[in-house]
Amino acid sequence: MFARGRNRRTLVAWAAVPLVVGIGIGVLIGGNLRPPTPVDDSPARTDEPVRLDYTDMPCDPGSSVLVLHSLEGAMRVEDVKTLVDYETMWVKHRENENPALRGQTALLSRRDDVCDAIVPEDSRFTQFVWVGPFQSDIAPSLCAALLKVTWENCIPAQVVR
């Protein structure tokens, strides 16, 4: 009976050898057993405030712009910047759908710097995100190219009426 137990222990010992060798090789290859220190991939924060770039809207007869957003003055500057950046990215993403979109970016204008035909009567709207100008006859088709709903989240507005 003792011999059987000894054979079993020898067998278990020999079976454990590859396990121990595997762990040893893993430690040698992988370095030590501590998890790697986390890397901070977040962008460096600066104390500079977010700056918005405003543009005067061109008001040439026969042209239109796509008004994508009419913004209220209470909106945070960071949120406005994010919205303009997003719309610029979206226009660039969709520019292959219509050649008129190539090279276009979303622009931001203050209420006083947009064409008179575009200024809404509601004075809450103080900033406008838009793309253009385009020839008035193709402007409505550009809303479809941007996968936006004409007259809801994409207004092909003639700059002169």
Quote the pLDDT of residue 45.
64
pLDDT in the model for residue 65 = 93
State the pLDDT at residue 38: 67
- pLDDT for res 6: 62
Measured CA to CA, the distance from residue 101 to residue 132 in angstroms comes to: 8
Position 161 scores a pLDDT of: 67
Confidence at residue 48, expressed as pLDDT on a 0 to 100 scale: 77
- Report how far Cα 109 is from the mean position of its chain's Cα atoms: 21
Domain ranges of the chain: 1-35, 63-158
Count CA atoms within 13 Å of residue 90 on its CB side.
Answer: 20
Mean pLDDT of successive 10-residue stretches along the chain, which has 161 residues: 59 65 65 61 70 91 91 89 95 93 94 86 88 90 93 87 67
pLDDT given at position 116: 85
CA 127 – CA 108 distance, rounded (Å):
7
